[in-house]
A and B are shown apart, each in its own frame.
Chain A
Amino acid sequence: MRASSSSAGLRLAQAAVLAGVFALWHVLTVPGILPPFYFDDPHRASFFFGEPLKVLGRIWHWFVGGDIYRHLGVTLVETLLAFAIGTVLGIAVGIWLALAPLASAILDPYVKALNAMPRVILAPIFFVWFGLGIASKVALGVTLVFFIVFFNVYQGVREVSPVVLANARMLGASPRQLLRYVYLPSAMSWVFASLHNSVGLAFVGAVVGEYLGSAEGVGYLIHQAEGVFDINTVFAGILVLTAFALILDWIVTLVEKKLMVWQPRSGETERI
């Protein structure tokens, strides 16, 4: 009882924070409500920071008019492709290097260098290689996702319990079966641990790619609006992207719950 009423209170407080921020934003930007105290011109504030009602109106038009769906779809496809390709590559290379100590020792400095490099600077190269369509954004996302997954899988395979491994061998597992029955599941638990990060980075890759050069996607919308100083549309794009990221994260949580049943969670007893 108490738990549920306090969580309802929490929700209320969280909603109040959101409403408060919007109210403040409204009061500070709409010309004529407050006397200007920082900018000389009363319209300056709304020029730089937009006006919440106009921003919400813009979002409303996007969804009712249906303009946004194509762009959201493009961003979603780019995100999912980047995530899928980056994850598969990360798992494959991670397992390979973890099981091949020599190769891993040789490649170690290069892996570190590639990971240290700010990957966004690759965007121009990808535009040259893959054009301004989806492929260049996917490539950018892949470079971001790959390393997260790679390092986690590498760690996961290295830390497989030697007893579990020895037991599997005694039960008759061939090297190939060890890979499938022991290394891969063990690595997957680490991949899932990094799922939130890697989906998030796939999204970042897609949006940044769109922003830097494209003809579709929410990042492109923002870039367009910025070009004509339409700050309300920029903010609308930011809000839509944030909501989109939250939904992605929520889906990841659902998937995680479904797939990680075997992992101990602290305090699983039922409250009576």
Chain B
Amino acid sequence: MSPPALALENITCTFVSGARGGARYTAVRDTTIVVAPGEFVSVVGPTGCGKSTLLNVAAGLLAPSAGTVRVFGEPLAGVNRRAGYLFQQDALMPWRNALENITVGLEFRGVPRETAQEQGRDWLRRVGLAGFGDRYPHQLSGGMRKRVALAQTLILDPQILLMDEPFSALDVQTRQLMENELLELWSANRKSVVFITHDLEEAIALSDRVVVLSAGPESHPIGEYAIDIPRPRDVSEARLTRRFLELHAEIWHAMKAEVLKGYARQLQ
């Protein structure tokens, strides 16, 4: 059997903060998540439970306090070169316009300018921003910036795609368009995807598997659900199937207590 594309093994992340490192906060404890090649896994959990933290660990941007990360069987050292990362926050370079932002990864790889520009324009079209190549990030809407970021990552054709709430800034219609687009891209050349979202419906509609995290601190997976809705899917149609509703009820039941717990903790 081929090794998993991404394996987070017994990851624990403890943040030290405060003046003399006095305050410690264990965001994630003893978490194992394994993603097979070509698998689409969603991670849901209440806000502040450590989803972004886990993704940073998978990207190699954050060294875990304990545990190992394996990428196609190899222990990860430094930045994860086989992964593309869509950040939750704005991550475009403000001094480059949309097209230049999309092609910057190709530039890093030494792809000739002409080729890069050509591919960049193609990707601008694919994310629905054909006429916006010369706009700077501050001239784009939040949703447009997200789409530029998506093109910026996908143009490099990474084997693993890490996505942190990529569509939460979009309106419902655009969001469903993008979700379908993502599914299409994904099924064309199966990448492994780790998809983080607040939105349980989105998670079920897109994924092969949904991992539910408990509320922090010391967050850990409290449930894994295989989503056996047949593919190819259309996200808006999938939401109407009986199986979808069953799964939704089942997972929501497990999540609800955690969401309330997390909310109560944040109010304190």
Where the two chains meet, the residues of A that have a C-beta atom closer than 8 Å to any C-beta of B are 161, 163-164, 166-174, 177, 181-182, 185-186, 188-189, 261-264
Q: How many of chain B's residues have a CB under 8 angstroms from any CB in A? A: 30
- A261 and B136: CB pair below 8 A? yes
Residues of A within 8 A of B97 (CB): 262
Query: Nearest chain B CB to A164's CB is how many angstroms away?
Result: 6
| With A171-B105, A174-B108 as contacts: A164 and B91 at CB distance below 8 Å | yes
* Cβ B156 vs Cβ A172 within 8 A: yes
Write the nearest CB–CB distance from B12 to chain A, whole angstroms. Answer: 21
CB of A164 within 8 A of CB of B108, answer no
Who on chain B is nearest to A182 by CB?
B93
- Given the complex, which residues of B lie within 8 Å of A171, measured CB to CB? 104-105, 108, 152-153, 156
A contact residues around B89 at 8 Å (CB): 163
Interface presence of B61 (CB below 8 A)? yes
A262 adjacent to B79 (CB under 8 Å): no
- Picked from A163, A172, A173, A262, the residue with its CB within 8 Å of the CB of B95 is A262
Q: Given A172-B105, A172-B108, A185-B95: A166 and B87 within 8 A (CB)? A: yes
Main secondary structure of the interface of A (DSSP, over half): helix
CB distance from B148 to the nearest CB of A (A): 12
Known contacts A166-B61, A170-B83, A262-B95, then 10 further A-B pairs from the complex at CB < 8 Å, ordered by chain A residue: A161-B91, A166-B85, A168-B93, A169-B61, A170-B61, A170-B79, A170-B85, A171-B153, A172-B105, A263-B138
User: Measured between C-beta atoms, what is the minimum distance from A22 to chain B in Å?
Assistant: 45
A178: nearest residue on chain B (CB-CB)? Answer: B108
Cα A185 to Cα B108 in complex, Å, equals 16
Please name all residues of chain B whose beta carbon is closer than 8 Å to the beta carbon of A170 when the two chains form the complex: 59, 61, 79-80, 83-85, 153
Residue numbers in A under 8 Å from B83 (CB-CB)? 170
How far does the Cβ of A145 sit from chain B's closest Cβ, in whole Å? Answer: 23
Determine the chain A residues whose CB is within 8 A of the CB of B104 once the complex forms.
Answer: 168, 171, 181
Residue pair A167, B95 in contact (C-beta under 8 Å): no
Residues of chain B contacted by A161 (CB below 8 angstroms): 91
* Chain A residues in 8 Å Cβ range of B81: 172
